[in-house]
């Protein structure tokens, strides 16, 4: 009950913020919501299940290019493109997982990183269709979403919010389900889980696919909402970012990804206004985090004060 109230409260806050904030920040909020969906996907693999992937940019890019190229080259309707982009994330996660999940730990990190680099280079190589480094700007007609004009701030926010709400509800339902418990079991003690009759390979593949669906949905939405697809979204930076969001907000918390994405977004925004070496500032913030709140903000709050926090 408390948790339902909390999540509804957060949603109300988001809606109010959209009306009160000036356009620049309201737009940032839309971006943060979409990035938070990506981070939720990452959190499902990393935070809840202990799968430390360095290749999630590939899943985000699968959604982004799946949706973006469909609307751009094939004139597909935006809603259908969003759905296909979501699936593309899941399918890509399946392909990566089938191979990468034969490894664990550091090898898993390296294999996922390599897959993502292959994806990144593939996008650059086929620049005729993908736009390569420069990317493709989606035109206004390509960004009409069930009658909503996504080039406008307000519709963009509402679509981002609806996507976020769906993701949030799915995330909550998942972690409260029996499967959610198995996810934690994978993270806590894989050998024990095997000796309870769970097939770790299959379970982890399922987790990765769910994570890929979230990431794909975020990538697809990002393309449609902000009208641009580009190779940089497949670069290693976009594998690291969701990890930072999750670590900052709190791994294995449902709202951590939103909080982490929001704070990190503004931290980068603020730091890059001060200095071109803004990554230094981000680095310093992370060191502070690891020293003072290794479980992230909500992880620490849950540990100290709110044990019921999902």
Smallest separation (angstroms) from another protein to the CB of 201: 9
Closest approach of another protein to the CB of residue 186, in Å? 10
Find the shortest distance in angstroms from Cβ 301 to another protein: 17
Q: Tell me whether residue 198 or residue 278 sits nearer to another protein (CB atom).
A: 198
CB of 189 to another protein, least distance (A): 5
Shortest Cβ 233–another protein spacing (Å): 34
- Taking the mean position of all CA atoms in its chain, how far away is CA 39? 3
Nearer to another protein, 212 or 250 (CB): 250
Whose CA is closest to 222, among 160, 161, 141? 160
**Residues 265, 215 contacting (CB under 8 angstroms):** no
Q: Which C-beta is closer to another protein: that of 104 or that of 124? A: 104
Q: Tell me the DSSP string of 140-182.
A: GGGGEETTEETTSHHHHHHHHHHHHHHHHHHHHHHHHSHHHHH
Of 73 and 176, nearer to another protein (C-beta) is: 176
Contact assessment for residue 90 and residue 212, using Cβ atoms and an 8 Å cutoff: yes
Question: Residue 224's closest CA among 64, 62, 31, 89?
Answer: 64
Helix (H) or strand (E) holding 274: helix 256-274
Tokens coding 48: 């809840």
Q: Kindly list the residues in this chain that would bind another protein in the complex (CB under 8 A).
A: 178, 181-182, 184-185, 188-189, 191-200
Q: Which is nearer to another protein, 29 or 210 (CB)?
A: 210
**Nearest distance in Å: CB 255, another protein:** 20
Residue 126: how many other CB atoms lie within 10 Å = 11
61 versus 183: smaller Cβ distance to another protein: 183
Neighbours of 268 (CB within 10 A): 17
């Amino acid at each position: 009950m408390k948790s339902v109230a909390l999540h509804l409260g957060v949603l109300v806050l988001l809606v109010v913020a959209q009306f009160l904030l000036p356009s620049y920040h309201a737009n940032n909020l839309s971006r943060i919501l979409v990035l938070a969906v990506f981070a939720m996907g990452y959190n499902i693999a990393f935070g809840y299940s202990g799968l430390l992937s360095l290749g999630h940019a590939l899943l985000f890019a699968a959604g982004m290019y799946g949706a973006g190229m469909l609307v751009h080259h094939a004139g597909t309707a935006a809603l259908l493109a969003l759905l296909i982009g979501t699936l593309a994330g899941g399918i890509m996660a399946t392909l990566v997982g089938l191979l990468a999940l034969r490894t664990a730990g550091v090898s898993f990190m390296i294999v996922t990183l390599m897959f993502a680099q292959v994806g990144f280079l593939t996008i650059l190589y086929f620049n005729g269709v993908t736009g390569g480094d420069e990317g493709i700007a989606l035109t206004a007609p390509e960004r009409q979403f069930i009658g909503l004009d996504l080039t406008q701030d307000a519709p963009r926010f509402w679509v981002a919010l609806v996507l976020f709400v769906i993701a949030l509800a799915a995330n909550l339902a998942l972690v409260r389900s029996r499967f959610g418990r198995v996810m934690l079991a994978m993270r806590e003690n894989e050998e024990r889980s095997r000796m309870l009759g769970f097939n770790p390979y299959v379970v982890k593949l399922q987790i990765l696919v769910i994570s890929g669906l979230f990431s794909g949905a975020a990538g697809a939405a990002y393309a449609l909402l902000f009208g641009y697809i580009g190779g940089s979204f497949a670069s290693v930076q976009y594998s690291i970012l969701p990890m930072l969001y999750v670590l900052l907000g709190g791994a294995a918390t449902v709202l951590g990804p939103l909080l982490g994405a929001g704070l990190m977004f503004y931290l980068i925004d603020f730091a890059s206004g001060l200095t071109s070496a803004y990554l230094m500032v981000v680095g310093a913030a992370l060191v502070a985090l690891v020293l003072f709140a290794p479980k992230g903000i909500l992880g620490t709050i849950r540990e100290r004060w709110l044990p019921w926090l999902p």
